[in-house]
């Protein structure tokens, strides 16, 4: 069965404490940091990450959808993020960023947009803990899964057998089995856990069960 990483992007931000508690049966919390430049949306900074880290016992990862990740790594590590995920498309110095993340004491993840080939990560694949394959174009929750990315997940599973592979975007109980079968061991999911009037614990259990089929 896959690990489940709820994204709080689509949670009720006016009751974030309640959302974290309702989803506390998950494995990881996934925080989508957006700077309004790398993606056309703006979300939250280190203070909110610190508040989430103080509120939950689960590991917190920051998905940094930002233009200058190197400028921000220290602040998100200091806020308590266990894993920092940077986009390969956001830097010409990916190896240096990975080393900096490790120097800060966090796990290093690299994310690839749907239009980016696995080749962008092959030189650092042996140095990182996680590869995040975007299954939507980044910037917003509630989008539909791009099934074209399942091939990329399958190829990554074959080429990088020791690497944790995470899929992010448009994942629900109907497609979680396909995404996990392709090779994703961690499923990021926002709107299918925090949908209005949903029971996050039930949704998480459904996703886990669906991923194990």
Q: Could you confirm whether 15 is annotated as catalytic?
A: no
For Zn ion, the binding residue among 63, 87, 152, 208 (CB under 5 A) is 63
**Residue 168 vs 178, nearer CB to Zn ion:** 168
Query: Which residue number has the CB closest to ligand DX5?
Result: 190
Return the structure tokens found at 42. Answer: 């703006």
Q: Where are the beta strands (DSSP E) in 19-95?
A: 29-34, 60-65, 83-87
Determine the interface stretch with Zn ion among 63-71, 95-103, 145-153, 197-205 (rule: CB under 5 A).
63-71
Which one from 71, 137, 168, 178 is the annotated catalytic residue? Answer: 168
Q: How are strands ordered across the β-sheet holding 83-87? A: 3-6, 186-189, 164-168, 130-134, 107-112, 83-87, 60-65, 29-34
Q: Are the C-beta atoms of residues 29 and 8 closer than 8 Å to each other?
A: yes
Q: Could you confirm whether 71 is annotated as catalytic?
A: no
Whole-number Å distance between alpha carbons of 116 and 118:
7
Whole-number Å distance between alpha carbons of 66 and 76:
12
- The minimum distance between CB 63 and ligand DX5, in angstroms, equals 5
Q: Which residues bind ligand DX5 (CB under 6 A)?
A: 7, 9-10, 30, 32, 63, 136, 138-139, 141-143, 168-171, 188-192
Place of tokens 């074959």: 158
87 forms part of the interface with Zn ion (CB under 5 A): no
Which one from 12, 32, 162, 178 is the annotated catalytic residue? Answer: 32
- The minimum distance between CB 160 and ligand DX5, in angstroms, equals 21
For Zn ion, the binding residue among 61, 100, 166, 168 (CB under 5 A) is 168
């Amino acid at each position: 069965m896959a690990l489940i990483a709820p994204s709080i992007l689509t949670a009720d931000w006016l009751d974030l404490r309640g959302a974290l508690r309702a989803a506390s049966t998950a494995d990881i919390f996934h925080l989508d940091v957006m700077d309004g430049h790398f993606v056309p949306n703006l979300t939250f900074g280190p203070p909110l990450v610190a508040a989430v880290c103080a509120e939950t016992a689960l590991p917190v990862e920051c998905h940094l959808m930002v233009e200058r990740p190197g400028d921000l790594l220290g602040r998100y590590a200091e806020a308590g993020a266990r894993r920092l995920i940077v986009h390969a498309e956001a830097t010409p110095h990916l190896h240096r960023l990975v080393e900096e993340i490790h120097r800060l004491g966090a796990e290093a993840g690299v994310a690839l947009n749907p239009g980016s080939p696995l080749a962008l990560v092959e030189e650092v694949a042996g140095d990182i803990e996680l590869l995040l394959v975007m299954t939507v174009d980044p910037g917003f929750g509630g989008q539909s899964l791009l099934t074209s990315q399942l091939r990329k997940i399958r190829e990554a599973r074959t080429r990088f057998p020791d690497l944790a592979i995470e899929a992010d975007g448009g994942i629900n109980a109907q497609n979680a089995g396909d995404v996990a079968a392709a090779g994703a061991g961690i499923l990021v999911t926002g709107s299918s856990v925090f949908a209005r009037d949903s029971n996050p614990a039930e949704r998480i259990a459904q996703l886990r069960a669906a991923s194990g089929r």
